[in-house]
Structure 1
Amino acid sequence: MEVINALGRRKRAIARIYVSEGTGKITINKIDISQYFPSSILQYVVKQPLNTLSVAEKYDIKVNTYGGGFTGQSQAVRLAIARALVKINPEDKPALRAEGFMT
């Protein structure tokens, strides 16, 4: 699988992500997700689309995000991940839309 990229925006936050096959590692601005978002709630928000489709351990995700606050950034990352998952498998779009992850 080639690298899939996607963009997500929320309020003033912008997130660009790059998805590749892997083991489920998520890095945000070259920092592990647990260090960038120390709050477990924000980590949960980022991982929601992956957990909805049960593919959390299937992809490695690299994120570049800037602008806004931590909550806006986490929601921008969530949207970008949902968009990337739809690029990988368009049949997943109804499930992600039903959960409110697609705009």
Structure 2
Amino acid sequence: MREPEIDAHGRSYATGKRKNAIARVWLKPGSGRIVVNGRDQTEYFARPTLRLIINQPFLVADRVDAYDVYATVSGGGLSGQAGAVKHGIAQALQKYEPVLRSAVKSAGFLTRDARVVERKKYGRAKARRSFQFSKR
């Protein structure tokens, strides 16, 4: 069994990534408050679907309203940032309680989603789209 990774302040730390977004996440026992970039989650992630994504690791681990989360996110858009926070929460959760690792891992939350935007190539209009053909 792994050892819990807890710092001097009683928190576990993890980094989550998704697309171009990077989230630094600190997790500690509390009342279920989630703060992202100094703002409450309802204020930062206005869409309910994004808040649902963030809370998925807690639902799978059956730890709803058991931990407070403080996260700083940079890069990407809101969707990528929500995915990054979710990834960070899952990593921090299994560091704080190693017993939960199997539940979180089987849900696929510990794996970094490697899908990123394909780069634009020269001689092309976009990543794959060709320029319009002109006969004359």
Q: TM range, normalised to the smaller chain? A: over 0.9
Equivalent residue for 2:25? 17
Equivalent residue for 1:78? 86
The answer to whether residue 63 in structure 2 is matched with residue 58 in structure 1 is no
Deviation string 1:32-64 (CA, Å, 9 cap, x unpaired) is 000100100000000000111121211110010
- TM (norm. structure 2) is 0.73
The answer to whether residue 101 in structure 2 is matched with residue 102 in structure 1 is no
The answer to whether residue 74 in structure 2 is matched with residue 27 in structure 1 is no
The separation in 1 between residues aligned to 2:74 and 2:64, in whole angstroms, is 24
- TM (norm. structure 1) is 0.95
- Residue 8 of structure 1 and its aligned partner are, at CA, apart by 0.4
Find 2:49's aligned residue among 35, 41, 45: 41
- Structure with more of its chain in strand, by fraction: 1
- Residue 91 of structure 1 and its aligned partner are, at CA, apart by 2.1
Which structure has the greater CA radius of gyration? 2
Which stretches in structure 2 are left out of the alignment for 5+ residues? 1-5, 112-136
The amino acid across from 1:77 in the alignment is V
Moved >6 Å (runs of 4+) = none
Percent identity between the aligned chains?
A: 36
- Structure with more of its chain in helix, by fraction: 1
The separation in 2 between residues aligned to 1:79 and 1:32, in whole angstroms, is 18
Deviation string 1:55-78 (CA, Å, 9 cap, x unpaired) is 121111001001001010000000
The amino acid across from 1:41 in the alignment is T
The separation in 1 between residues aligned to 2:11 and 2:53, in whole angstroms, is 23
Which stretches in structure 1 are left out of the alignment for 5+ residues? none
Equivalent position SS for 1:57:
coil
Equivalent position SS for 1:71:
helix
Find 1:91's aligned residue among 69, 88, 99: 99
